[in-house]
Amino acid sequence: MAHCAAAVVDFVWLYSQAMTLLLDSFWRAVAYCVHPRVIALSFLPLILMVVLSFGLGYFFWEGAVASVAAWLASFELVEALLAWLDQIGLGALRSVFAPLLVLVLATPVIVLLCLLLVAMFMTPAMVDLVGQRRFAGLERKHGGSLVVSVFWSLGSTLLAIVALVISMPLWLVPPLVLILPPLIWGWLTYRVFAFDALATHASSDERKAILKDHRGSLLLMGVLSGYLGAAPSLLWASGAMFIAMAPLLVPLAIWIYTLVFAFASLWFAHYALAALQRLRAVVPVEVLDADPGHGGAAGKLDDTRRIHGPETTT
């Protein structure tokens, strides 16, 4: 009984600490989003994405719409639906289906590129900003090199793409289209931004310990960011109006994607660096750098908790 009670107390304490850290890092990330440096940095991915989007649209838009229209015409059910729309006086919507479907199919690519551009051009600068303003005394151990970060991001991206392709048939089920893509984007966001947030300041063992001990909170942050990132997709629901206003709304949607991922990057930076600071306050740095043969940093952290109890933070 005493062991069970201790386990319950430990779980409640860990949960309260995680929620406190989660909420604290959230409001700090929101505040940092209006920082002039963050706003200025957000324009670089925006410019690159707008140039790329309009360039691809200029060369491939008409061909893509024609191909999708021909593909839709091959389905008798779709033709029956379009014929019914003609009968009730909504025949003008016939011209909207193909362009709208092209935009829907292009959305995952836009989201993916925005995420990677933010991770490449904004995250290092924002982690440095958070580190200088909040964690100036936190030693930088450079446990993740640029090469490792690139391979980590590319590997995670490939897995996310595979998951998206496999799950696409399920998007035809109305509830699942609102669940599966944000979950996949959330997982990818968690994988990319959590790693990059710790790459400069944490050692390899510290990073592995934090990613293990805080996996649930980090994944929740990624999923919530994924749902925030899905918000610009509501623009597609305007149908014909969106097609007519695409030159204006596409850059707006891309900038919203960029700001959402910039916020996510800041959220992960605040959370991860605060978790790293707490980890080092509980476990001496020399212990974290010791031989991990007895459980590594995570094992040492658990041992220290059992001996000294919950750490106190300011």
Residue 221: predicted pLDDT: 92
- Which tens digit of pLDDT belongs to each residue from 191-200? 899 999 999 9
When pLDDT is averaged across residues 35-42 and rounded to a whole number, the result is: 86
Contact 271, 22 (CB under 8 A): yes
Between 275 and 291, whose confidence is greater? 275
- Which tens digit of pLDDT belongs to each residue from 213-243? 888 899 899 988 878 876 666 655 555 555 5
In the chain, the number of structural domains is 1
When pLDDT is averaged across residues 289-293 and rounded to a whole number, the result is: 50
Residue 313 lies in a domain: no
Q: Which residues contact 39 (CB under 8 A, 6 or more apart)?
A: 33
pLDDT category of residue 274 using cuts at 50, 70 and 90: very high
Residue 314 lies in a domain: no
Residue 30: predicted pLDDT: 92
Residue 214 lies in a domain: yes
Residue 241 lies in a domain: yes
Between 105 and 160, whose confidence is greater? 160
Residue closest to 287 by CA, chosen among 296, 277, 275, 278: 296
Which of the given ranges, 23-27, 32-36, 50-54, 184-188, has the highest pLDDT on average? 23-27
pLDDT above 80 (res 264): yes
Q: How many Å apart are CA 203 and CA 2, to the nearest integer? A: 36
Residue 70 lies in a domain: yes
When pLDDT is averaged across residues 71-82 and rounded to a whole number, the result is: 69
- CA-to-CA dists, residue 154 to 114, 115, 148, angstroms: 14, 12, 10
Evaluate if pTM is beyond 0.85: no
Share of the chain above pLDDT 90, in %: 16
Which of 21-25, 263-267, 288-292, 303-307 is the least confident region? Answer: 303-307
Residue 187 lies in a domain: yes
pLDDT category of residue 305 using cuts at 50, 70 and 90: very low
Taking phi over 0 as left and psi of -120 to 50 as alpha, with beta for the rest, 89 belongs to left
Residue 232: predicted pLDDT: 62
Q: How many Å apart are CA 204 and CA 97, to the nearest integer? A: 50
Residue 295 lies in a domain: yes
pLDDT above 50 (res 300): no
Which of the given ranges, 17-21, 181-185, 202-206, 286-290, has the highest pLDDT on average? 202-206
Between 229 and 49, whose confidence is greater? 49
Residue 54: predicted pLDDT: 81
Residue 117 lies in a domain: yes
Residue 24: predicted pLDDT: 92
When pLDDT is averaged across residues 280-305 and rounded to a whole number, the result is: 52
Residue 298: predicted pLDDT: 47
When pLDDT is averaged across residues 83-99 and rounded to a whole number, the result is: 65
**Range of 63's domain?**
2-308
Q: What is the chain's mean pLDDT, rounded?
A: 77
